[in-house]
Amino acid sequence: MKIGIDAGGTLTKIVIEKEGERSYQSRLTTELDDIAVWLNQQDCDCIHLTGGNSKELAKRLNCETVSFVEFDAAHKGLEILLKEQDIKLDTYIFTNVGTGTSIHLANTHEQKRVGGIGTGGGMIQGLGYLLTHIKDYQKLTDLAQQGDRECIDLKVKHIYKNSKPPISGELTAANFGHVLHNLDCDFSDADKLASMVGVVGESITTVSIHNAREFKTEDVVYIGSSFYNNPLLREVIENYTRLRGFNPHYVENGAYSGALGSIYLS
Ligand code: ADP
């Protein structure tokens, strides 16, 4: 049995490969003690670790461990998943939307971290709580899917009311910039959350495609647990990436790239 673990800022991702079968699971990193108790009962000689909390986890484990840099592990695992999912890319940007967002230039052999931005899953949870007082991730993201951004976000077409804009009217001109024009709207929690997911997704897309342009590729691969139960985030990012002329790719189980890749690094 092979175990690879990515102990991240919010979630600990666990990949187990046994007799040709692979399983994926994730737990809150705040439950690291319980995770260690469970791991200490598994039949494994050496556990492969990555992520910011890997040292904390290693301290609690009885078996041998080996740790890897999370960016290399994510790249290794992503390459495996791309191949399995028949997504053929040469040079590409991959954007890992975790608690924060990390951006990498990659090809089949190597990766280089080329940027990052503090908008990501942590902001969705934290600003989401400040806006609605909802702590539960499932409830928060369920509600965000029902929101309408129309009264909150100012689009280019709202500014160019009766004339043709020089850029797509569908682009957001100002996130939250429509609020004061619409004070008679009732701004529901769902609407606020949808707009917040919008600004997170659009800022991530902007920095990702600027990197894609700089490094002369049209392909951007998005991974990370922030897409769990949040099809709205995926939709915002995919649509905006396409609108700007680039190709978005979403990889199934991409959130487990680091944990999977750690198994195959040596
Ligand atoms: P990290 O490695 O930094 O923990 P992840 O890729 O695991 O990053 O993504 C963490 C983000 O995933 C959180 O900030 C949150 O937005 C989202 N998330 C998905 N599922 C959950 C969950 N069950 N509980 C908390 N956050 C979750």
pLDDT tens-digit readout, 202-212: 999 999 999 99
Q: Which two tokens stand for residue 32?
A: 């690291």
CA of 218 to the centre of ligand 1 (A): 27
How many C-beta neighbours within 10 Å does residue 168 have? Answer: 11
CA of residue 40 relative to chain centroid, distance: 29
The DSSP H or E segment spanning 21 is strand 21-28
pLDDT tens-digit readout, 20-76: 999 999 999 999 999 999 999 998 889 999 999 999 999 999 999 999 999 999 999
Q: Which two tokens stand for residue 262?
A: 């750690």
Specify whether the CB–CB gap between 36 and 65 falls below 8 A. Answer: no
* pLDDT given for residue 171 in this prediction: 93
Q: Which two tokens stand for residue 207?
A: 């920095």
In whole angstroms, what is the distance from residue 99 CA to residue 52 CA?
A: 11
CA of 225 to the centre of ligand 1 (A): 5
For a pocket test of ligand 1, which of 49, 137, 143, 257 has the largest count of ligand atoms closer than 8 A to its C-beta? 137
How many C-beta neighbours within 10 Å does residue 75 have? Answer: 26
- Angle at the Cα of 106 (from 56 to 250), degrees rounded to 5? 80
* pLDDT given for residue 45 in this prediction: 87
* pLDDT given for residue 145 in this prediction: 98
- Over residues 7-17, the mean pLDDT reads 98
Ligand 1 atom 17: the closest Cα is on which residue?
226
CA of 98 to the centre of ligand 1 (A): 6
Domains of the chain and any CATH numbers: 2-71+257-263 (3.30.420.40), 121-147+188-250 (3.30.420.40)
Q: What is the mean pLDDT of the chain?
A: 97
Largest CA distance in the chain: 69
* pLDDT given for residue 134 in this prediction: 98
In whole angstroms, what is the distance from residue 86 CA to residue 82 CA?
A: 6
* pLDDT given for residue 44 in this prediction: 87
- Over residues 114-140, the mean pLDDT reads 98
* pLDDT given for residue 83 in this prediction: 98
Q: Report yes or no on whether pTM surpasses 0.95.
A: yes
How many C-beta neighbours within 10 Å does residue 204 have? Answer: 28
pLDDT tens-digit readout, 212-234: 999 999 999 999 999 999 999 99
pLDDT tens-digit readout, 68-108: 999 999 999 999 999 999 999 999 999 999 999 999 999 99
* pLDDT given for residue 82 in this prediction: 98
